[in-house]
């Protein structure tokens, strides 16, 4: 056992991937104390099994953790994906440039993007935007936060940007309110 802990930056990134404080504690308890430890874990399924993280969050975490391992090669070059690059939710394969929402993954044949639900109208589908009302989807892990902001009366189009700009502490406070309503 080491008493090493994930860095503040790593924790913030993990929070952005949908890992809450409980999840972070579970990672530490499972012995994960650095990004490199995720390579030992190997895949999202194992991560979910050892930490109890939700599958969605586990997949995002592994995509992040393994993505850099794969791209920081011997030459030391790091490829930074542009934000609109889509990786398959099932096998993490990077989708081609002409990829369109709803396309099947070229590598594993499953629908590359997860289906998300619209926090505004309840319609669900793949892609970045709701086909029912045009609202930008929020991360699956933050769906309930979006519902809470909606309840608070924020305009539809402000909610996704607001969530993205929110500091982890603000999100924690919002989560606390979500839990109170359960």
Neighbours of 110 (CB within 10 A): 12
Token pair recorded at residue 140: 């699956």
Report the distance separating Cα 53 and Cα 5, nearest Å: 18
Among 105, 138, 141, 146, binds Zn ion (CB under 5 A): 105
Residue with tokens 């505004």: 120
Q: What sign has the CA pseudo-torsion 168, 174, 180, 181?
A: negative
Among 44, 47, 130, 148, binds Zn ion (CB under 5 A): 130
Q: Is 96 in the site for Zn ion (CB under 5 A)?
A: no
Q: How far is the CB of 122 from Zn ion (least distance, A)?
A: 7
Q: How far is the CB of 134 from Zn ion (least distance, A)?
A: 7
Q: How far is the CB of 95 from Zn ion (least distance, A)?
A: 8
Q: How far is the CB of 125 from Zn ion (least distance, A)?
A: 9
Q: Is 50 in the site for Zn ion (CB under 5 A)?
A: no
Report the distance separating Cα 166 and Cα 164, nearest Å: 6
- Which residues on adjacent β-strands are paired with residue 117? 124
Binding residues (CB under 5 A) for Zn ion: these are 88, 90-91, 93, 105, 107-108, 118, 120-121, 123, 130, 132-133, 135
């Amino acid at each position: 056992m080491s008493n090493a802990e994930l860095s503040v930056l790593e924790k913030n990134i993990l929070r952005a991937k949908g890992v809450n404080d409980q999840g972070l504690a579970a990672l530490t308890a499972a012995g994960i104390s650095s990004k490199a430890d995720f390579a030992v874990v190997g895949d999202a399924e194992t991560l979910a099994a050892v930490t109890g993280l939700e599958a969605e969050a586990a997949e995002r975490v592994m995509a992040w953790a393994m993505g850099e391992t794969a791209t920081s090669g011997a030459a030391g070059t790091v490829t930074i994906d542009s934000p609109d690059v889509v990786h398959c939710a099932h096998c993490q394969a990077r989708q081609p440039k002409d990829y369109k929402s709803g396309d099947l993954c070229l590598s594993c044949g499953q629908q590359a993007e997860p289906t998300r639900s619209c926090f505004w109208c309840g319609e669900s589908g793949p892609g970045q935007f709701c086909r029912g009302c045009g609202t930008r989807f929020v991360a699956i892990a933050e769906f309930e936060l979006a519902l809470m902001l909606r309840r608070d009366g924020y305009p539809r189009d402000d909610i996704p940007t607001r969530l993205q700009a929110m500091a982890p502490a603000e999100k924690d406070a919002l989560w606390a309110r979500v839990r109170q309503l359960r």
